[in-house]
């Protein structure tokens, strides 16, 4: 079959964005959660911050692009922020598309000027430097089970970034997370890399407790 030309035309479409908005209240700092690939906002909240501390407004957003997952013959909702082929180092759907949607959501919720702490897991951590330039009053970022070698981290990182990583992570290796985080030292002199022995590509009680204490310390 001969090559068939693919045509591209910009159009305006309404793609819904799904999210959880909890503990709303004037002047509260906002925790914004960005989940991983084929993950969901609710699953990330349950994994990382199940206490849902009422001192903080919580915005947990599902990625713009659905990627439903089948487990035990049951389909579950899951989402992604962008699509990339790491074997060829190519981007198939750029993160900026999701970043624009997130910014519009934050504006619509009246949270533009509110103090923000961004929390991300796996692909969400790769997404952070793409959303950061468009947000105001971001005080800190905490990324879990991600890596930080993208050029966007070198150019866009203007707030402190902490990282949490398990030594037995089998998706994003501990070595890649630690090495890439250390490469940001010039841009991120006060960032903390916190490792958890034996932890895989998830969180446990120990890492959840550390995260909670760290959030409280940052926002005290």
d(C-alpha 113, C-alpha 115), whole Å? 7
Confidence of residue 8 (pLDDT cuts 50, 70, 90): confident
| Measured CA distances, 18 to 12, 62, 68, 79, 185 (Å) | 19, 5, 14, 10, 35
Residue ranges per structural domain of the chain: 19-218
CATH numeric code, 19-218 = 3.40.50.1820
Q: Are 30 and 58 in contact (CB under 8 A)?
A: yes
Mean pLDDT, rounded, of the chain: 96
> Which of 49, 42, 51 is CA-nearest to residue 19?
42
Residue 143 reports pLDDT greater than 90: yes
Residues 32-78: tens digit of each pLDDT: 999 999 999 999 999 999 999 999 999 999 999 999 999 899 999 99
Residues 147-190: tens digit of each pLDDT: 999 999 999 999 999 999 999 999 999 999 999 999 999 999 99
């Amino acid at each position: 079959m001969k090559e068939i030309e693919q045509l591209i035309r910009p159009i305006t479409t309404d793609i819904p964005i799904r999210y959880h908005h909890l503990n709303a209240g004037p002047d509260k700092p906002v925790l914004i959660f960005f989940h991983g690939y084929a993950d969901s906002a609710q699953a990330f909240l349950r994994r990382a911050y199940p206490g849902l501390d009422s001192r903080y407004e919580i915005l947990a957003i599902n990625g713009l692009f659905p990627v439903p997952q089948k487990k035990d013959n049951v389909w579950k909702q899951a989402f992604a922020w962008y699509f990339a082929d790491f074997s060829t180092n190519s981007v198939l759907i750029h993160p900026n598309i999701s970043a624009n949607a997130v910014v519009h959501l934050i504006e619509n919720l009246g949270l533009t000027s509110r103090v923000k702490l961004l929390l991300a897991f796996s692909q969400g951590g790769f997404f952070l430097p793409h959303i950061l330039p468009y947000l105001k009053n971001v005080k800190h970022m905490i990324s879990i089970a991600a890596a930080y070698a993208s050029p966007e981290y070198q150019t866009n990182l203007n707030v402190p970034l902490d990282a949490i990583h398990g030594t037995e992570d089998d998706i994003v290796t501990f070595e890649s997370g630690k090495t890439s985080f250390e490469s940001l030292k010039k841009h991120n002199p006060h960032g903390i890399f916190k490792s958890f022995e034996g932890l895989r590509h998830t969180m446990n009680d120990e890492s959840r407790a550390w995260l909670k204490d760290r959030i409280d310390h940052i926002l005290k």
